[in-house]
Structure 1
Amino acid sequence: MVFFFFSIKGEILINNFINSNYITENKLFLMVYIIKYMAVKY
């Protein structure tokens, strides 16, 4: 259930990440945050 929720949430985050016009630093920060979040979950 948690994995399924994260998959949907992660997919939305990745879509926003690809479609966003953020500067590179914000994209790097978001990527690191997602990686840390995944590391905590598993």
Structure 2
Amino acid sequence: AIFINNLANDFDLKYKYFFTKSPLCSKAKHYLEEKGFHIHAIL
């Protein structure tokens, strides 16, 4: 349980860092690419 908890906390920190430090358009593009989409135009 502790190990899983640590992983969750680590992920949460990285998630917050990613979404506060990177530009909005990069966030959206990266998120969609992770989901299997590729953006070829600025929405």
Q: How does the TM-score come out when normalised to structure 1?
A: 0.46
The higher radius of gyration belongs to: 2
Return the structure number with greater relative CO, CA threshold 8 A, min gap 6.
Answer: 1
The structure carrying a bigger helix percent of its residues is 1
